[in-house]
Amino acid sequence: MSNTPLNPLTSEPSPSADYRILGLVGQGQFAQVYCAIHRRTGQLVAIKQTRHTSESASQEAWILAELNHPNLVCCQSIAQTKTGYEFVLDYCEGGTLRVAIGERSQFSLAKVKSLITDILLGLGYLHSQSIIHGDLKPENILLTYLPLPSAADDQGPSRFPTAKIADFGSAYFVQYPKRSRREIGSPTYAAPERFDGQSSFASDLYSVGIMLYEMLLGDRPFSGSPEMLRAAHETQPVPLPASLTPAARQLLSVALSKEPDQRFASAAALISALQSLAGIHKATSDVTSVVISVPKAVVKLEFGGGAIAQVPDLITQLLPIRLGSRLGIAVITAKSYYLLSEAMQLSRVAQFTQNSWIAVDPQGRWLAAFAQHSAAECKAPDQGLLYRLSAASATTSQPIRLTSKLLSALQSEVIQILAINSRYLLRVRTTQALSKTVLECFTRRGEFVGQVSFNFPIADIAGTPEPYQLIARTATADSSFILISLKPFQIRHFPQYSRLQSIAALSWGYLLIRADQALVLDRSTNLIGVIEGLPADSAIASLTPDQLLIASPNGSQQRSQEISEQIPEQIPEQIPEQIPEQISEQPQNNDPSVKNTSTHGSSSLFVINLRPLDLDLIF
């Protein structure tokens, strides 16, 4: 940092006018942070707005104006407003380290090394600029998923997120002490000398040591009121389990020494000591990977008959929908849309002449269909038909065209088009070569709204009962599970749930399906059981909180006439004169053999009652 700080303020209008606000990310006593997307470029940013011209906000403006490091949340622009300051900052879609810590009691040693090293690299740069952060804690560490350094890295971006240091409102200028703040920061992570108003680079390293302790051992060393925390930091020995290896014990003892001059001399020294750590506990071979423990006995399902209906195609999706006061299930295949009523009556609503992406409004009011293209065609589906649905039939249709205004990932493949609510469609593109996925949002009439991207290639994606939330399975070597929030845009990755073949979002949680079992998670993503015996490539949905509807591929090709005659046909009466991209309703024909357009098999629908399975669910 230069000896004389530059004035960072601009006289230009508020930069937020160039952005569309997607949602509130967080707020404190004096500021709010929003997720926003640039209206022209589609870049995601965080917009921090302070509510008055406090000394803290002014100080943060001075710091952010000159800092630039991959492990710091950097600033793209700053403006002074009538109420304070407005910062346009890097956006970190992975949320805070506090959220990540709350999702598990303990991290693998490899992940601890990665995240703490990121923090220390950013801190080392900050110290080189003669700045003490002053308030390092998990809430001020943000996570993001960066692109792969090489496409050959089959671990994918799912390996570990990148950590970035944020919030410089409590920072201390070594060269400008009069500009510096004097707050202690969070007492849980404050060094002993901070309670006496003293700050040094070693104070920041102590705070990192507390986070290191928490991530390695699953809890903080001290807790209680601010007065109790001060006494503990100043006088109480750090509680170190007897099971720690000598190297782990030495590392934490030095990092959390009461005396600043007895701690690690620099961030680089702590990185070196951490990277040389081979294990944490003497009693085990070390917690080098997160092991999933099953809290309930494994449940075995038996499928020997009792199908409620059969469909002459392979079912790809089962989507709960609401039809006024009634509930139903949208049954989707590559070329057809069926509706399963509350009375378990199956009706065919629409059928098409070629494989199509079919998106159904969760309220059952409309249906959109787009022709699928092969990967070799390198063409995104953009022309289709929008149907107005009435009861169990498609009554009217109109052409719909999805046209992006922004540049999407090159050589990307569309893997899904889905309705996220009654107003919006989402087209999902992914590319494994670039380890990137793009979510393009349109109104149901095809008007482009915007897009977001993230550095995961995904294999499949689906909506959840939670508004603006999606689940996805990564197209990486570990084939793991991620949750995506659209408002605001955030990603939560769960690499401990890996080797997945498919995923399903239910009213009470999630099913993560492997080749030999299904992991049962509640809505907080806690593992509550395991089910065995689910058919491979099953589509699954909730009928009721304690009943599942399962679509199972039949073991052999069924005779078309036998299956088709079981399904009451509801063919749309109005067919547009021009059919985009060869999408059209199948012409009505009294010959049952015409109705089966699938060449890849058939499916049976089963209802499974979960109550007798004794899973730890709350019904």
Q: List, as residue ranges, the binding site.
A: 48
In whole angstroms, give the CA distance from residue 451 to residue 404. Answer: 9
Helix (H) or strand (E) holding 212: helix 201-217
What are 289's two structure tokens?
A: 């990977």
Q: Which residues contact 366 (CB under 8 A, 6 or more apart)?
A: 360, 386, 387, 388, 389, 422, 444
591: helix, strand or coil = coil
Q: Does residue 376 contact residue 390 with C-beta atoms inside 8 Å?
A: no
Scored b (16 or more CB within 10 A) or e, 286-325 reads bbeebeeeeeeeebeeeeeeeeebbbbbbbbbbbbbebee
What are 537's two structure tokens?
A: 């490539």
Q: Does residue 119 contact residue 71 with C-beta atoms inside 8 Å?
A: yes
Cα dihedral 84→85→86→89 (10° resolution): -140
In whole angstroms, give the CA distance from residue 446 to residue 456. Answer: 26
Of 229, 275, 273, residue with least CA distance to 252: 273
What are 427's two structure tokens?
A: 């087209």
In whole angstroms, give the CA distance from residue 389 to residue 349. Answer: 9
User: What residue numbers does the annotated binding site for ATP cover?
Assistant: 48
Cα dihedral sign for 499, 505, 511, 514? negative
Burial of 521 (0-12, 13-18, 19+ CB in 10 A): buried
